[in-house]
Amino acid sequence: MSRRSAPDSVGAFILHDQLLAPLTTWGVGGYAKTLVTPRSRDELIEAIGWLKTCCSSFFTLGGGSNVLIGDGVIDIPVLRTTETRDLRVSVDGENVFIDCAAGTKLSEVLALTIKEGWSGLEFAAGIPGTVGGALSGNAGTLRGAMDKSVVMVQTVEEDGSKHEWKADDMKWGYRRCGLLENTSRVVIGAKLKLSLSDRGLVLAAVKEALESRGLQPCGHRTAGCVFKNPQGHSAGMLLDRAECKGLVVGGARVSAAHANFIENMGACSARNIMQLALICKKRVFEMFGVTLSFEIKTLGIQEEDIYVGR
């Protein structure tokens, strides 16, 4: 792909041969041949339209959490949304509506709700990443998830047209949004519905939500929970009982604080992380007969490419 093939308005935010590791919370990942970094919602729409005309596929990267990028060269273009952050607020009676661009950090939205005393997003305390990523994975905790707050989602479709979807159209599931599993559909924004409340009550609920998440690793780079909770089970508890805490492969280590987190201890590769994750997955299956599914998304590295022996 050549920069000359893009119109000047798009070429202005195309970068080549860019290291992706600094753009992820794990701090691992190879080079993107083409990194597209629009700076507004309008530029995002224009960039998506251009990408759809010049390549068969591309990968959308938000805040870099919940994703594992391979160590080699990433041939498909990477579209980074984190510069497209804006918030538009409107109030109707007791209801507060926040229109967020896809690249807006979920933590920024939560901080605004705490400051203003708006209730409905307290469950998101401690969840990293962007609004777009949170929608794609229906991010949440036992206290709630994104599907409970969404009114409308804006996307760019395969043919380049914009579309607005109601919450009921989204096909929500546990840590998934069926509508957004179509990789040719890209989120550009969403409208969230909250309610007027009291600042003190909202802050107290946020603190309770953080405490309910339990002890989580700090001081090392992670990407959030590696595996989804199987039905009727806690992935973290299964991994703990399978004695995965403290396991090490290269520069990757299963956290001693929470067995569903893998830490980058330095000099870590994506391959180290995937190998360690698959060892943990195998242990859980052999001990409990439960097959864990990844919560993280991957780019340029596949489970089937890595052999894990006993």
User: 3-class DSSP state for residue 125?
Assistant: coil
Domain extent at residue 15: 3-80
User: 3-class DSSP state for residue 286?
Assistant: helix
Q: Is 295 a catalytic residue?
A: yes
Report how far residue 292's alpha carbon sits from residue 227's, in angstroms, rounded to the nearest whole number: 6
pTM across the whole model? 0.89
Both 202 and 273 in one domain: the answer is no
The DSSP secondary structure of 53-105, one letter per residue, reads: HH-S--EEE-SS-SEEE-SSEE-S-EEE-TT---EEEEEETTEEEEEEETTSB
Catalytically annotated residue among 43, 46, 263, 295 = 295
Q: Is 94 a catalytic residue?
A: no
Residue with tokens 């893009």: 6
Catalytically annotated residue among 41, 46, 85, 225 = 225
Looking up residue 254, the CATH number of its domain turns out to be: 3.90.78.10
Both 138 and 208 in one domain: the answer is yes
Catalytically annotated residue among 39, 175, 185, 213 = 175
In this predicted structure, what is the pLDDT of residue 2? 44
Both 244 and 276 in one domain: the answer is yes
Q: Is 88 a catalytic residue?
A: no
pLDDT tens-place values along the chain, 310 residues long: 444 467 676 777 899 999 999 999 999 999 999 999 998 888 999 999 889 888 888 999 999 999 999 999 999 999 999 988 889 999 999 999 999 999 999 999 999 999 999 999 999 998 889 999 999 999 988 889 999 999 999 999 988 889 999 999 999 999 899 988 887 899 999 999 999 999 999 999 999 988 877 667 777 899 999 999 999 899 999 999 999 999 999 999 999 999 999 999 999 999 999 999 999 999 999 999 999 999 999 999 988 777 676 4
Both 240 and 277 in one domain: the answer is yes
In a domain, 224, yes or no: no
Q: Where does a domain end: 212, 243, 267?
A: 212
Both 96 and 63 in one domain: the answer is no
Q: Where does a domain end: 50, 80, 110?
A: 80
In this predicted structure, what is the pLDDT of residue 17? 96
In a domain, 254, yes or no: yes
